[in-house]
Amino acid sequence: GAGVSQTPSNKVTEKGKYVELRCDPISGHTALYWYRQSLGQGPEFLIYFQGTGAADDSGLPNDRFFAVRPEGSVSTLKIQRTERGDSAVYLCASSRNDRGDTEAFFGQGTRLTVV
């Protein structure tokens, strides 16, 4: 596609439920990043993939959070036993590589609300 696509754009779930957030990166981009943005804050790093493997998952807050990218393209962020504190906008970005000097292209995010 032309840009990074995230689905759904909005998700409301009940506390304790399981959710999956999907990210379709720009075709050919090998690096994929997940960030979380709370109101009034900058994006907070969660995890990034280089190809199919998680190159750095140090930002995942706890073991309720997990992400996969099985074929090196689409990625899914999975949150188990959701809590109200998980409410935020989850951003996905992709870039041609993970050299660090390459622009990351961001999706519009998924707004997760846990009630």
Partner 1 sequence: AQSVTQLGSHVSVSEGALVLLRCNYSSSVPPYLFWYVQYPNQGLQLLLKYTTGATLVKGINGFEAEFKKSETSFHLTKPSAHMSDAAEYFCAVSRWGNQFYFGTGTSLTVIP
* Site residues, partner 1 (CB under 8 A): 3-4, 33, 35, 40-45, 48, 55-56, 59, 91, 93, 98-101, 103-109
Task: Closer to partner 1 by CB, 33 or 82: give it.
Answer: 33
Neighbours of 50 (CB within 10 A): 15
Residues 101, 45: contact at Cβ < 8 Å? no
CB of 114 to partner 1, least distance (A): 21
Strand partners, 54: 49
CB of 73 to partner 1, least distance (A): 19
CB of 71 to partner 1, least distance (A): 21
CA dist., res. 21 & res. 28, Å (int)? 21
